[in-house]
Amino acid sequence: MTGSTPTTPRPCRSDAALPTPHAGEGRGGGGARRRTLLAATLALAALRPARAQTFPDRPIRILVGFPPGGSVDITVRSIAPRFGEALGQPVIVENRPGAGATIATEAAVRSPPDGYTLVYGSIGTLVVNPLILRELSYDVRRDLLPIGMLVDIANALVIPPDRPWQGVNDMIAAARAAPGRLNWGHSGVGTSGHLTAHLLDQAARIETVGVAYRGGAALATDLMAGRIDYAFSTVASVLPNIRDGKLRVLAVPTAERQPWLPDAPTLAESGLPGFAATNWSGLLAPRGTPEPVIARLAAALAETMRDAPMREVLIRNALTPLPAGPEEFRALRERERARWEPVVRASGASAN
């Protein structure tokens, strides 16, 4: 190579000084090396079941791509202690917010596939992000293995108290009378509030304008002040304001009425048959995690989700437990991708 430093040739040993190859091997002991490699591979393969049988023997961490304090964080921190009891090891929650939860997701994908690093996944991280982020370094369907589901974070359609609408039909009529005039808030492209509003546009055949906010607090402030017309916000975040009369709820975008808002009709009851948008979540592990480890984690999570005191904590925080195993989780993820892909495309949502 041009510019390389010349080296002094070393004297060669005679062929007589070289070890004599065994029968059937070429010079240099290639066959022996191959046998050694094969033995090492078989030994590693034999170790996997043994390791799976002793799993877990140290703490497990769950990566969460959202900041502390919100519904997602409440979900994972409510479940973690009971999950740890079922596994016999502490479960540590590690918040890594940013970039639409892709930072935490990528960190999980790149972690050793040994079951000791899990990640919180949601409709946003597992369905929406792959549709709106063209340069993801991972494929959620290929690189993450479902363990089990956690909760559904319910939303509510809320409006300022001074709006005259007594129901969803009144709001829809106002939107049709003045296309492009009504506006609504959301806390990020691809969030459940953002997509549910677009789904309402399509289902009701109306034209409205979305307004992006940096977070739920700023959105709630403008909504209560009447600077925007409506929003699909998490029940947990708006329930105190509804009870104080600072916001009014018109409907819930779920298949059934919600126990926290028993008087609020569903959108299906309000003249939009079949309308339902859920904000589901679950736990996943990196691709390559041994099947016995996935099975152990799934069994422990199922035990956790059956725990009555833990379920009560979730329900008090307007979170609906969703006990389901790996196969149900995987099937739901595929159904939801097929369902939401046309909505995302029609919305023009893009984060690139």
pLDDT in tens, 238-291: 999 999 999 999 999 998 999 999 999 999 999 999 999 988 999 999 999 999
Helices H / strands E in the chain, number of each = 13, 11
Query: Are 238 and 158 in contact, with CB atoms under 8 Å apart?
Result: yes
Helix (H) or strand (E) holding 331: helix 326-347
Query: Are 86 and 303 in contact, with CB atoms under 8 Å apart?
Result: yes
Query: Are 265 and 254 in contact, with CB atoms under 8 Å apart?
Result: no
Distance in angstroms (rounded) separating the CA atoms of residues 311 and 306? 7
| Main-chain dihedrals φ then ψ at residue 290, nearest 5 degrees | -55, 145
Distance in angstroms (rounded) separating the CA atoms of residues 50 and 47? 5
What domains sit in the chain, N to C, each tagged with a CATH number? 57-152+279-347 (3.40.190.150), 155-251 (3.40.190.10)
pLDDT in tens, 31-55: 565 565 555 555 455 445 545 568 9
Residue 21's pLDDT band (boundaries 50, 70, 90)? very low
The three-state secondary structure class of 56 is coil
Helix (H) or strand (E) holding 198: helix 192-204
User: What is the distance between the terminal CA atoms of the chain, rounded to a whole angstrom?
Assistant: 42
Global pTM? 0.78
- Nearest CA-CA partner of 122 in 104, 134, 135, 107: 104
Helix (H) or strand (E) holding 311: helix 308-316
Query: Are 304 and 79 in contact, with CB atoms under 8 Å apart?
Result: yes
Q: What is the pLDDT of residue 278?
A: 85
